[in-house]
């Protein structure tokens, strides 16, 4: 196998045209779109319009005339098309952490006679932390179990199971339909975190019968740093669910300034404060771009990139101590690939110094994301060649690559 | 009195130079900066830099190299200088509603043997709604009392009193030091909402001994539509306070990915999810501008504008049914002026059509904000002349001014 094989795969890539829609720095192979997606060219223009025209010239009137007030629902309807939800089942607001709090609390409100929330050990930390905080306040019990014990633990006390569809470290993918069905068979609700799913995999929440979901705007949706997040509430739950974060944007008539809270009864029930318009403007550009691509083609190309990366690392970098940390089967994984290495941190830094941007996750994981809209199989080939050079030269042993930054 | 008197006041205005720092549309007298502050010219450039350079070129590295990860604290330290707080007592994050939830819950955590939160009837609705949601979840009791009954109701069961320093409708100003002292004398905590205070009045939280505060980024701080909000926790409470929204940004070591939540123990304990970088970039430009002005001069000029507006409306528009709805004494008020009028909604719309932008608050309040950095006394004169013309011509009776928009 050589680089021409990668080129041949690229020649048949139905998504190749999307590369030009991104403003990526020259000389960089960006394998960290699973942490922060790059800048869609349209996002820069859309943010500038939001700032100079809508805010600067339209001022307060833009809440009505520029569609600001409907933005959480308008963007929600766009996200919905990427995750198999109905247009009125998704809203964009707040951060993933805040949305998880709202929806897990909402699950408790829908199952008032059940007091247990179950999640898995090794879930993304903020998910576990937020559930800890919620359960302490709401008088519920959080069970954090090894993944293989989660399903057996679901019982008549379980209000909800909270799992991240694609694991942030290993990329292991849960079977969404099977897990949802098994959880619901016990009368509990299923809440999915789609942080590493939306924009990456062909996701079908309603096909799986999911109850609730949250997800992130700044990873595969390319919504910009700290972009607003999304939340999904199945239509059948919207009239009954309650959010403890009952801010004015969730009120049935926000501008009637009524004395008492009265939930809207639709997806807006899960809104809270004033929508973050500049962040929403950037995210909308990312969504509009993503919606031009067939989600099935996105998943297929992403998995093709992952397959090639694993194959090349295990052949061309053999003998250098890299061990695949995550599923080998494509059907069991998302679009990032993790390899354990005793010098994982320094290795990632040495790669970044050569323009191959991945990231590191404790204790020893070098993580590489394969976002399908702007990466090619040739990029994968080139990245592995640089990895091979770093390993063979042992360049990662240089002392400057061992200094930990605040954010890893 | 004529327009030359207004010009004379402007000639002595130490803040006159700030007008050029804003990009305001021609022909508009913008009296709604208390709802959405206008665009500081520097904000457009700062957002563009955040988008094109930091996000587009810096990509994930900008979390370290562009100061993204410290932004909540860096901006917090800037807000602190405007509200009389220490640099480590304020953070910028989330929305005002979400921050109020966190801090009111935090007050319950600091007073575990007390289960009552008190606020006033007629407080800004989202404040009441959020407290309703919190108390329902946390097993606490919310008492919503007429303002004159609030202080007498504070007792040994009271965990916290939550008041908006300047009332959103009437602009009535609470005596921050006296109220704080009286609340604390009963062992309760005082939580101030500074939405209409920060950037408007010379505020001294630590001088008043306040415990907790929240406030808004998009009003007098000119941070842009839906800008991130701020929160204040007095240093003496930071080690003990707990947030139920215990997301990863509040963890003592967010990137250690530990299994259990461990609060930072400083102001970051009140952070939750990933910071919204684009919104923070715009807000930082607004803050940097505001910090160039002496808060005492800002308050003095704002009150001078209010005094002139009230005086001119009550003389030049006499006999047209406008009734001042709020304090007449400058020491008792903030920087917006409300007049009740039976046709308040249509009146505001007719003014907007003539370039005088105020807003309407149910049931009959025409509200006008006097933000000191870009308004002049001549603007006040001109606005009142247009108001007089609208009243005398009864232009507001035209049917198109009666159609309610979604956002008022």
Q: What mean pLDDT, rounded, does chain A reach? A: 97
Residue A32 CA to residue A76 CA, distance in Å, equals 25
Band of pLDDT at residue B125, cut at 50, 70 and 90: very high
Q: Residues 200 to 219 of B: which have CB under 8 A from any A CB?
A: 218
Residue A238 sits in the same domain as residue A253: yes
Residue A23 sits in the same domain as residue A92: no
Catalytic center residues of A: 124, 193, 218-219, 367
CA distances from B272 to A359, B242, B246 (A): 22, 12, 6
With contact defined as beta carbons under 8 Å apart, do B124 and B72 qualify? Answer: no
Q: Is residue A158 part of a domain?
A: yes
Backbone angles phi, psi at B272, to 5 degrees: -135, -80
- Residue A373: predicted pLDDT: 98
- How would you classify residue A265: left for phi > 0, otherwise alpha for psi between -120 and 50, otherwise beta? left
* Residues B51-74: b if buried by 16+ CB within 10 A, e if exposed: bbebbbbbbbbbbeebebbebbbb
Residue B275 CA to residue B254 CA, distance in Å, equals 13
Taking CB atoms and an 8 Å limit, are A95 and B272 in contact across chains?
yes
Give the ipTM.
0.97
Taking CB atoms and an 8 Å limit, are B362 and A256 in contact across chains?
yes
* Residues A191-217: b if buried by 16+ CB within 10 A, e if exposed: bbbbbbbbbbbbbebeebbbbbbbbbb
Mean pLDDT of A235-261: 95
Residue A178 sits in the same domain as residue A243: yes
Q: Is residue B35 part of a domain?
A: no
Q: Is B124 tagged catalytic?
A: yes
Q: Residues 289 to 348 of A: which have CB under 8 A from any B CB?
A: none
Residue A283 sits in the same domain as residue A304: no
Residue A110 sits in the same domain as residue A191: yes
- Is residue B406 over pLDDT 90? no
Band of pLDDT at residue B408, cut at 50, 70 and 90: confident
Report how many domains make up chain B: 2
Among candidate residues B168, B367, B374, B401, the one labeled active-site is B367
Residue A342 CA to residue A359 CA, distance in Å, equals 15
Q: Does A223 touch chain B (CB under 8 A)?
A: no
Q: Is residue A38 part of a domain?
A: no
Residue A132 CA to residue A140 CA, distance in Å, equals 9
Q: Does B131 touch chain A (CB under 8 A)?
A: no
Range of the domain at A215: 44-290
* Chain B nearest C-alpha distance from A300 (Å): 25
Percent of chain B with pLDDT over 90: 97
Following DSSP, what letter does each residue of B16-39 receive, concatenated?
GGGGGGEE--TT-EE--TTTS--E
Residue B283 CA to residue B225 CA, distance in Å, equals 10
Q: What mean pLDDT, rounded, does chain B reach? A: 97
- Residue B1: predicted pLDDT: 84
pTM of the model: 0.98
Of all helices (H) and strands (E), which one includes residue B314?
Answer: helix B295-316
Domain boundary among A290, A325, A344: A290
- A296 CB contacts (<8 Å, ≥6 apart)? A202
pLDDT tens digits, one per residue of A86-131: 999 999 999 999 999 999 999 999 999 999 999 999 999 999 999 9
Q: Enumerate the residues of chain A whose CB falls inside 8 A of the CB of residue B405.
A: 64
Domain boundary among A290, A322, A345: A290
Taking CB atoms and an 8 Å limit, are B243 and A133 in contact across chains?
yes
pLDDT tens digits, one per residue of B295-328: 999 999 999 999 999 999 999 999 999 999 999 9
Residue A403 CA to residue A399 CA, distance in Å, equals 8
* Chain B nearest C-alpha distance from A272 (Å): 7
- Residue A407: predicted pLDDT: 86
Residue B380 CA to residue B398 CA, distance in Å, equals 25
DSSP classification of residue A16: G
Q: Enumerate the residues of chain A whose CB falls inside 8 A of the CB of residue B106.
A: none
Looking at A38-194, list the stretches that DSSP marks H as alpha helix, in order from N- to C-terminal side.
Answer: 41-48, 62-65, 71-83, 96-110, 125-138, 147-153, 176-185
Looking from the CA of B28 toward its CB, the CA atoms found within 13 Å total 21
Residue A394 sits in the same domain as residue A299: yes
Residue A303 sits in the same domain as residue A282: no
Residue A111 sits in the same domain as residue A226: yes
Residue A298 CA to residue B216 CA, distance in Å, equals 40
- Residue A339: predicted pLDDT: 98
Residue A267 sits in the same domain as residue A302: no
Mean pLDDT of A201-228: 98
- A336 CB contacts (<8 Å, ≥6 apart)? A34, A171, A196, A306, A367, A368, A369, A370
pLDDT tens digits, one per residue of B140-167: 999 999 999 999 999 999 999 999 999 9
Q: Is residue B39 part of a domain?
A: no
- Residue B57: predicted pLDDT: 98
With contact defined as beta carbons under 8 Å apart, do B190 and B254 qualify? Answer: no
Among candidate residues B111, B114, B143, B219, the one labeled active-site is B219
Taking CB atoms and an 8 Å limit, are B59 and A36 in contact across chains?
yes
Q: Is residue B226 part of a domain?
A: yes
Cis geometry, peptide bond prior to residue B229 (ω within 30 degrees of 0): no
Q: Is residue A37 part of a domain?
A: no
DSSP classification of residue A270: G
CB atoms within 10 A of CB A272: 29
Q: Enumerate the residues of chain A whose CB falls inside 8 A of the CB of residue B63.
A: 36, 225, 406-407
- Is residue A1 over pLDDT 90? no
Residue B263 sits in the same domain as residue B122: yes
Taking CB atoms and an 8 Å limit, are B244 and A136 in contact across chains?
yes
Mean pLDDT of B14-19: 98
Looking at B52-146, list the stretches that DSSP marks H as alpha helix, in order from N- to C-terminal side.
Answer: 62-65, 71-83, 96-110, 125-138
CATH number at residue A338: 3.90.1150.10
Backbone angles phi, psi at B21, to 5 degrees: -80, -5
Q: Is residue B66 part of a domain?
A: yes
Q: Is residue A39 part of a domain?
A: no
Mean pLDDT of B180-186: 98
- Is residue A405 over pLDDT 90? no
Residue A137 sits in the same domain as residue A173: yes
| Three-state secondary structure call for residue A339 | strand
CATH number at residue A286: 3.40.640.10
- Residue B226: predicted pLDDT: 98
Q: Does A20 touch chain B (CB under 8 A)?
A: no
CB atoms within 10 A of CB A326: 23
Looking at B154-271, list the stretches that DSSP marks H as alpha helix, in order from N- to C-terminal side.
Answer: 176-185, 205-208
Domain boundary among A245, A274, A290: A290
Residue A59 sits in the same domain as residue A186: yes
């Amino acid at each position: 196998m050589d680089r021409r094989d990668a080129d041949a795969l690229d020649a048949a890539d139905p998504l190749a045209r999307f590369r030009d829609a991104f403003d990526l720095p020259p000389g960089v192979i960006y394998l960290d779109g699973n942490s922060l997606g790059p800048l869609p060219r349209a996002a820069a223009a859309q943010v500038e319009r939001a700032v100079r025209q809508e805010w600067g010239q339209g001022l307060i009137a833009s809440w009505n005339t520029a569609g600001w007030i409907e933005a959480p629902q308008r963007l929600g309807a766009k996200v919905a098309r990427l995750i198999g939800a109905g247009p009125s089942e998704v809203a964009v607001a707040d951060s993933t952490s805040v949305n998880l709090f709202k929806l897990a609390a909402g699950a408790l409100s829908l199952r008032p006679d059940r007091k247990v929330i179950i999640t898995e050990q090794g879930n993304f930390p903020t998910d576990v932390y937020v559930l800890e905080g919620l359960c302490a306040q709401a008088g519920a019990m959080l069970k954090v179990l090894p993944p293989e014990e989660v399903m057996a633990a679901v019982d008549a006390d379980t209000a909800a199971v909270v799992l991240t569809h694609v694991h942030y470290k290993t990329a292991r993918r849960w079977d969404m339909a099977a897990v949802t069905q098994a959880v619901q068979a016990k009368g509990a609700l299923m809440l999915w975190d789609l942080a590493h799913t939306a924009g990456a995999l062909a996701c079908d929440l309603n096909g799986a019968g999911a109850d609730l979901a949250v997800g992130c705007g700044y990873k595969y949706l390319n919504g910009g740093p700290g972009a607003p997040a999304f939340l999904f509430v199945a239509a059948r739950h919207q009239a009954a669910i309650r959010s403890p974060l009952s801010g004015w944007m969730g009120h049935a008539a926000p501008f009637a300034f009524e004395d008492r809270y009265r939930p809207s009864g639709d997806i807006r029930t899960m809104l809270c404060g004033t929508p973050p318009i500049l962040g929403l403007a950037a995210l909308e550009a990312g969504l509009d771009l993503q919606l031009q691509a067939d989600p099935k083609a996105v998943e297929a190309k992403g998995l093709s990139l992952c397959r090639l990366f694993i194959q090349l690392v295990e052949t061309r970098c053999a003998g250098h101590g890299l061990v695949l940390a995550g599923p080998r089967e494509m059907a069991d994984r998302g679009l990032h690939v993790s390899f354990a290495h005793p010098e994982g941190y320094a290795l990632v830094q040495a790669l970044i110094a050569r323009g191959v941007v991945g990231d590191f996750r404790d204790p020893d994981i070098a993580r590489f994301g394969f976002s399908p809209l702007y990466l090619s199989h040739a990029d994968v080939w080139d990245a592995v060649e640089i990895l091979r050079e770093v390993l063979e030269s042992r360049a990662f042993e240089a002392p400057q690559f061992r200094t930990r930054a605040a954010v890893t």
